[in-house]
Structure 1
């Protein structure tokens, strides 16, 4: 292949003669020859051999924009969430008064050292990644075995996360797949006690938590559910693995459902939130979440922008409905992704989780190009997150257990179906 073009994940390729556009969603250097996989605007997957004349046929598009179900939106969702998590990590346990003293009247706006480095992610991003891994392994299991309970497979993945915290679960846990081998994930980043205890005590995969917690540890990790069928039920059921209070898991379902409506139907954030509440708002156990989200929609309609004091009136974001409400309010009122995330982290509360929720929403809407370059340059695990986003597009579209191909075997090795 000519050195004049070196496509990478999520580059947009444009055919030099037909103007066809493809988003690169996988690079397979050993299959059995170098190969790219691209997705077109209709969702079709195209294998592209990296032959000597590749650069005569394809160019990397500059400023290509986003199409409706562009895989780059998935990358934006995951990276935006991680960026919000990392920005908020340095101030998670600080009051607004202390944030003012430390960072000035604008609050924190640049990555600041936390956990020994700038751009450090927390347990929020770690658990988001393991949730995504479990969802992809569930795809492999369903295809290869014909039967699957996805929350059980996600549960197994979250137990692998627990191992990275040097905590031994009650049940046996497989250590296969690629994600657990990422050494940077083996780091304790203030994991929530509810998540740790619920996972540690679970005796079987898919077993709901036996507690009455509605902490935000369920809602903050479920964004990947938006890109799989039945996002509301899937996110609710996976959040319920650690959080037993209805608000704790139904708020998670609503968050994933809002994201899925934006992703699948190109709704605005306001439309997605309103329609999701219309469909799910009257479910038993949804009252707390419905009430606070309706308040946020009213504030937005009145033109009220989030301020640290205004956010404080909603709460600290330590519980599920408050975290979702704060992240949603900041995303609704944001001039751009950076504006929304900085509003979401500058308050006296759970800044990393509210920043992550706002970042998931705004990253999906605006794509990864909207994330400030100086944030991305320092963001921990950026390459891992990028690969996971690519796999969310690639694995469900390509994996076929009936075809004993090199690529299916490669997927099974990375995402064993259990």
Structure 2
């Protein structure tokens, strides 16, 4: 009984951090887009990074389901299918999307996420993602643009939940639409930092954020052996210098503008890192997002900072007044819980084991 209770507590704790990461990402996206000036009342609208992050999570779950039932799966291809469902709901190249995917099932787009109305509404621009998906008939290796825009990074943050082994796929997922090497590297590095925010154990109050970020930066240090998730000397130096700036000169608007001058993935990474390390206290989440929103591209910086802080502190630390108003709060919370549940104990079973949830495959078809 003790082992069962310990597992339950651990599961709830992991769910709290993943829920915090997803809802923190969404709140950052929304606050950043509003430049910190949110309406006093009414629903808070999701941004396009949040929409795409939802489909990243759904793609991860469906890839896991496929792997369990088929014994083999190329996860980036399943995530591409998820982004295609987003594109179809958005009215982007609908005939191409139908031609590519609808022959596999009579009810495409399938899965419960495709039935969420807000995911079919235009909520900002993701030009590189749209341009690449519009060329989906050219094949996965030819469709990507040369962009280093931040959407590959912000939509890819949920990959952190899959662990360091899963994060090795983050580059391939980014490369579906964004071909720039610096942008792809920043996407992987952000996922590694988010992973350590999700998993690094709490230390003394107010320092767990910095401890987790420092652990992530250390893990990215260049190594002699081949393989693994590492940064170049130059990239690692920038990460370390950004972290130290946050410790020595926290919440300096001019520093933030220098670190994150544009809407690219490297800017989102460094800006989000600087903000998160500048506001390590659990009660400082709203102030962190307000500060991040003042960056030249506040949307991407606040999105990353919100995800990192939410991952460390857990969902309970997020401001209820904002979470309760966000139009996708239930969707994000459900996806976060289901992602942890799928990785912990596949509800649909596997090729050889009967599942305990008869409706899981319908919710998350494994293809």
Structure 1 residue corresponding to 2:24, chosen from 53, 56, 80: 80
Q: Is the counterpart of residue 239 in structure 1 residue 207 in structure 2?
A: no
Q: CA deviation at 1:19?
A: 12
Q: For residues 33-79 of structure 1, give each alpha carbon's deviation from its aligned partner in whole angstroms, at most 9, with x where no partner exists.
A: xxxxxx51355xxxxxxxxxxxxxxxxxxxxxx85xx3111100101
Q: Is the counterpart of residue 384 in structure 1 residue 318 in structure 2?
A: no
Judged with a 3 Å threshold, the aligned counterparts in structure 2 of structure 1 residues 287 and 215 are, in CA distance, closer, same or farther, namely farther
Is this contact kept in 1: 2:16–2:316, CA < 8 A?
Answer: no
Q: Is the counterpart of residue 40 in structure 1 residue 40 in structure 2?
A: no
Q: Is the counterpart of residue 363 in structure 1 residue 310 in structure 2?
A: yes
Q: Select the structure that is richer in strand.
A: 1
Deviating 4+ runs (over 4 angstroms): 18-22, 279-289
Structure 2 residue corresponding to 1:221, chosen from 151, 155, 171: 155
Aligned mates of 1:410, 1:258 — CA distance in 2: 34
Q: CA deviation at 1:206?
A: 4.8
Aligned mates of 2:244, 2:294 — CA distance in 1: 22
Aligned mates of 2:186, 2:286 — CA distance in 1: 24
Q: Highest Rg: 1 or 2?
A: 1
1:125 alignment partner in structure 2:
50
Q: CA deviation at 1:239?
A: 1.1
Q: CA deviation at 1:337?
A: 1.8
Is this contact kept in 1: 2:171–2:185, CA < 8 A?
Answer: yes
Q: Specify the SS of the correspondent of 1:185.
A: helix
Aligned mates of 1:153, 1:19 — CA distance in 2: 35
Q: Specify the SS of the correspondent of 2:220.
A: helix
Q: CA deviation at 1:210?
A: 3.4
Q: For residues 233-274 of structure 1, give each alpha carbon's deviation from its aligned partner in whole angstroms, at most 9, with x where no partner exists.
A: 122211111110111111111111112123334372332232
Judged with a 3 Å threshold, the aligned counterparts in structure 2 of structure 1 residues 316 and 380 are, in CA distance, closer, same or farther, namely farther
Structure 1 residue corresponding to 2:353, chosen from 384, 398, 403: 403
Q: For residues 111-160 of structure 1, give each alpha carbon's deviation from its aligned partner in whole angstroms, at most 9, with x where no partner exists.
A: 3389xx64111100000000000000000100111110001100110111
Structure 2 residue corresponding to 1:260, chosen from 195, 198, 207: 195
Is this contact kept in 1: 2:144–2:175, CA < 8 A?
Answer: no
Bigger relative contact order, structure 1 or 2, given CA contacts below 8 A and separation 6+?
A: 2
Aligned mates of 2:40, 2:90 — CA distance in 1: 21
- Aligned pair count? 340
Is this contact kept in 2: 1:214–1:249, CA < 8 A?
Answer: yes
2:205 alignment partner in structure 1:
none
Q: For residues 338-395 of structure 1, give each alpha carbon's deviation from its aligned partner in whole angstroms, at most 9, with x where no partner exists.
A: 2222211123x22121111001100011111211122112112100011001101112
2:294 alignment partner in structure 1:
346
Q: For residues 174-205 of structure 1, give each alpha carbon's deviation from its aligned partner in whole angstroms, at most 9, with x where no partner exists.
A: 40001011111111011221110011112377
Q: CA deviation at 1:227?
A: 1.2
Structure 2 residue corresponding to 1:275, chosen from 215, 218, 221: 218
2:104 alignment partner in structure 1:
none
Judged with a 3 Å threshold, the aligned counterparts in structure 2 of structure 1 residues 247 and 19 are, in CA distance, closer, same or farther, namely closer
Judged with a 3 Å threshold, the aligned counterparts in structure 2 of structure 1 residues 362 and 205 are, in CA distance, closer, same or farther, namely farther
Name stretches of at least 5 consecutive residues in structure 2 with no aligned partner: 102-107, 202-207
TM-score, with length taken from structure 2: 0.84
TM-score, with length taken from structure 1: 0.74
CA RMSD of aligned residues (A): 2.8
Aligned mates of 1:292, 1:317 — CA distance in 2: 16
Q: For residues 260-318 of structure 1, give each alpha carbon's deviation from its aligned partner in whole angstroms, at most 9, with x where no partner exists.
A: 123334372332232233157998985764453233123124x1123332211123340
1:179 alignment partner in structure 2:
113
Aligned mates of 1:221, 1:21 — CA distance in 2: 34
